[in-house]
Amino acid sequence: QVTAKTAFLFILPQYNVSVPTADGELVQYHYGLKDLVTILFYIFIAIILHAVVQEYALDKINRRLHLSKVKHSKFNESGQLVAFHLTSVIWCLYVVVTEGYISNPRSLWENYPHVYLPFQVKFFYLCQLAYWLHALPELYFQKVRKEEIPRQLRCIALYLVHIAGAYLLNLTRLGLILLLLQYLAEFFFHMARLVYFTDENNEKLFNVWAVVFVVTRLFTLTLYILVIGFGLPRVENQAIDPERGNFFSFLFNNILFRMSVLLLVCLFQASVMWRFIHFQLRRWREYWNEQSSRKRAAAGAKQQTKPLKRDSGYHENGVVKAENGTSPRTKKLKSP
């Protein structure tokens, strides 16, 4: 019995409470320090699943492709993230649809703070935190090159800050929609990289990713403006109350603070779009340079293979001679 209680502490989310509803009671959850134990357990689960995907899928493909060391590392990274992002997109879409967050956008800010979470929402957040925390030791296990470590650390840190921030500040509903949009764009990007590594002439999926990226950025910016600019300022309880999980909704009633937050969000999204545009321009420039070099090479090959017109004889020391070795000129007869 004691062992079972300890096992449940690792496996299942903690801090469940019975919330009265019109139909009876509903079991929901809030967060606490015991969540760290659950996250630790799922970190080990994520490491095991990472090794399974690497051993039974990616390594077998790598043996057939014979990639270089640089491409081998990037292929493994994209392969792992494709599996994770696809799973997360399906799971997150299921959660937001079943909880009604898409059909009722007002639910993103109504009754804030959202202290009590359904089981599937809390479990999703715990697994997300466990995955991105497991990515830290994986940098050592996968023997990532030193040049790649700073970039991957920045990516991991950004995901952890945003996911943990949404979880601790009771903005889980908004966080779910934002994660869905982000993971959808990332899935297409890493899928395009996998296809490119198998066939360097196939870049069609990068065009699909470009469209999805722009659309998701626009939806993300619209969602921020809708929730921060119009939703949270209308929350009934504007008084700060840390015990109820209301940390800063009163700040959004101040128009100066609200506009400052929106300005920071817009600047961040603008920087992301600038890097995206710079990447696209560089890719198109490389593509057109490659196409022009191919055309020049093809034109040079045609000139080399083009037959040259030759005289009836051949040249030898600047004198045209006939095929039988005699000069084509008529010889002058010597006078007797």
Contacts of 110 (CB under 8 A, 6+ apart): 231
Nearest 5°: the CA angle 47, 166, 7 is 45
Taking the whole predicted model, whether its pTM rises above 0.85 is answered as no
Sign of the dihedral defined by the CA atoms of residues 11, 15, 16, 22, in that order: negative
Find which of 3-7, 142-146, 330-334 is predicted with most confidence, using mean pLDDT: 142-146
Looking at residues 231-247, what average pLDDT do you find?
66
Kindly report which listed range (33-42, 284-293, 299-308) carries the lowest average pLDDT score: 299-308
- CA dist 270 and 275 (Å) reads 9
- CA dist 190 and 28 (Å) reads 36
The yes-or-no verdict on residue 50 having pLDDT over 90 is yes
The yes-or-no verdict on residue 330 having pLDDT over 60 is no
pLDDT for 323 equals: 47
pLDDT for 332 equals: 47
In this predicted model, what pLDDT tens digit does every residue of 177-235 receive, in sequence order? 999 999 999 999 999 999 988 887 777 888 899 999 999 999 999 998 888 888 877 77
What is the pLDDT confidence band of residue 137, given thresholds at 50, 70 and 90? very high
Mean pLDDT across the chain, nearest whole number?
83
pLDDT for 94 equals: 96
pLDDT for 4 equals: 73
pLDDT for 82 equals: 96
**Is the CB of residue 71 less than 8 Å from the CB of residue 199?**
no
Of residues 32, 26, 39, the one with CA closest to residue 119? 26
Q: Where are the domains of the chain?
A: 1-234
Looking at residues 132-158, what average pLDDT do you find?
91
In this predicted model, what pLDDT tens digit does every residue of 103-128 receive, in sequence order? 888 888 888 878 889 999 999 999 99
Kindly report which listed range (251-255, 260-264, 323-327) carries the lowest average pLDDT score: 323-327
The yes-or-no verdict on residue 305 having pLDDT over 70 is no
pLDDT for 36 equals: 94
Of residues 89, 90, 92, 84, the one with CA closest to residue 58? 84
The yes-or-no verdict on residue 324 having pLDDT over 70 is no
